[in-house]
Amino acid sequence: MPEPVSALPRSAGILLHPTSLPGRGVGDLGEAAHRFVDWLAGAEQTLWQLLPLVPVSEGGSPYNGLSAMAGNPLLVSPEGLVRDGLLDPDRVGGEELPDDRVDYSRAVPWKEGVVRAAWEGFRAGRAPALREAFEDFRRRNAAWLEDYALFRALRGVYRGAAWIEWERGVRLREPAALERAREELADEVEVHAFAQFLFDRQWGELRRHAGERGVRIVGDIPIFVAYDSADVWAHQDVFHLDAEGHPVVVSGVPPDYFSKTGQRWGNPLYRWDVMEARGYRWWTERFRRTLELVDVVRIDHFRGFESYWEIPADEETAIRGAWRPGPGARLFEAVRRRLGELPLIAEDLGLITAEVDALRDALGLPGMRVFQFAFGDDDRNPHLPASHPEGSVAYTGTHDNDTAVGWLRESASDEERSRVARLLDPAAEDVHWEVIRLVLGSAARLALVPMQDVLGLGSEARMNTPGTPEGNWGWRLPAGALTEDLQRRLREVTLATGRAPRRSAAGAST
């Protein structure tokens, strides 16, 4: 039974997506990931926060995934496939791939080729001990896996075109067209189902290792899903689509100080009335699947459950939109009735109203506090470390922020730097450690630091710049970065701020 975040001890952790780990062309779930868990445990870190683990397209965004339920085959370790007897060692080599950043346009097809070779080996009789496990995985996950695997097979037939561009029969899921596609694409469906099995197998090994080292995994659920996803294609009736499958209204946020035209995200919006009439089954299964993979879940854009900005699909900007009521507590109550306690963190950043705060508090969820948001024109800013309530999660920054060093030296305004200077010297050589010490020293129950901030890297190491379509999600951990000296320093600040795990007489963390 999952524990609510309020039951977790005062603790600290690191934000690092697995794609940023060492690995050929892209980080994966292999030996480097297991070593990272060991490094975290040695630094007294008990949390590892990730971005969504979903499959991505060549753009690499885990917030625009091809499925809300599936895992990312890009993370499958080739060395793990060799160990399982599915690949020969020489198949792991081949194309030269950069190690300093993830080039998704090259890494995705290369890794797909590796996974396909593993499937061909399996089909030819290699690793026979995995056959029963694969069939069991398919049975347990059939509710989402069969639609996802067919979606990926069809996407291959149509050369990556969005499902709205497919032949009308399969686009609108006419039974005869789907049956014909399943028969004609049976082999391709098997490949994609097997890729999910490989991800699940390797992820399970990594998560068990983390649990043995006392490290909890913090995952991420974006409130909305991508239009070009297996979820929307397979469940068109629970989204605001017209009779041909085109969106009627889409997601975004209204104009504000940062953007005169707002942000038009473009995700299709849910038909909350239909979802409620069905007992929020789709959301229940989404939470169930996510909690099979992680220990704690951060909900991105939590405010959308209270109310969300609805934009007509034919509008090019977010100006002509309207606020619409979300499902509120009803959704979470329905999920809790089926799954029990939900270990959730509410991402309550941005335009937050008293109603959003009330919903978060009624559900007993911690909100987020971010150091970089603490230095506006309000001396009682809730993001100031001294203002953090115990029931919150503190961050130096998130994946959408500049790094701490980059922000202080390039992105922050003069007024923000002046306010920061009341707490620390923005020009100090080790300013990132001062920021980390302030955040970990706050009253917040959990504190998380992006790996880039532990390393003291500048803006060149930023993971994502919202509103910028190119150059995101590619940052890689520099070779040799996880040193004993860095581990020691992180351990010292964690101990000094009372966030190290308590040890039993037998030495196990509690």
**pLDDT over threshold 80, residue 37:** yes
The pLDDT value given to residue 506: 44
* pTM of the predicted model over 0.85: yes
| Mean pLDDT value of segment 34-49 | 98
What span, in angstroms and rounded, lies between the C-alpha atoms of 208 and 204?
6
Q: How far apart are CA 65 and CA 55, in angstroms?
A: 6
Tens digits of residue pLDDT in 298-351: 999 999 999 999 999 999 999 999 999 999 999 999 999 999 999 999 999 988
Domain 5-496: give its CATH code: 3.20.20.80
Please determine, for residue 157, whether its predicted confidence score (pLDDT) is greater than 60.
yes
With bands split at pLDDT 50, 70 and 90, how would you rate the model's confidence at 379? confident
Query: Residue 293 pLDDT > 50, yes or no?
Result: yes
pLDDT for 99: 87
Residue with tokens 């203002």: 387
CA distances from 231 to 179, 267, 329, 333, 489 (A): 19, 12, 23, 23, 44
At 258 the pLDDT is 67
The HSE-up count of residue 330 (CA atoms within 13 Å, CB side) is 14
Dihedral, CA of residue 231, residue 232, residue 238 and residue 241, to nearest 10: 180
Contacts of 441 (CB under 8 A, 6+ apart): 385, 497
Residue 300 annotated in active site: yes
The pLDDT value recorded for residue 296 is 98
3 catalytic residue (yes or no): no
- 505 pLDDT above the threshold of 80: no
Domain chopping of the chain, boundaries? 5-496
Catalytic option among 200, 347, 348, 416: 347
pLDDT tens-digit readout, 230-264: 999 999 999 999 999 999 999 999 998 668 899 99
- The one catalytic residue in 44, 188, 295, 300 is 300
Find residue 503's DSSP bridge partners: 509
**322-325: strand order across its sheet:** 263-268, 249-253, 307-312, 322-325
Residue 508: predicted pLDDT:
53
Of all helices (H) and strands (E), which one includes residue 466?
none
Any alpha helices (H) in 340-413, and if so which ranges?
354-362, 404-406
Q: Averaged over 9-20, what is the pLDDT?
A: 98
Q: How confident is the model at residue 509, as a pLDDT?
A: 60
Average pLDDT of the residues of the chain: 95
CA distance 464 to 492: 29
In this structure, the number of other CB atoms found within 10 A of the CB of residue 278 comes to 14
What's the confidence (pLDDT) of residue 247?
Answer: 98
Question: With helix as H, strand as E and coil as C, how does 70-103 read?
Answer: CCCHHHCCHHHHHHCCCCCHHHHCCCCCCCCECC
pLDDT of the residue at 504? 44
| DSSP H helices in 261-313 | 272-277, 281-293
Quick one: average pLDDT of 12-23?
97
Given the residues 120, 400, 434, 492, the one annotated as active site: 400
- pLDDT score for 469: 82
pLDDT in tens, 118-146: 999 999 999 999 999 999 999 999 999 99
Mean pLDDT of 438-450: 98
With cut-offs at 50, 70 and 90, classify the pLDDT of residue 439.
Answer: very high
Q: Is 28 a catalytic residue?
A: no
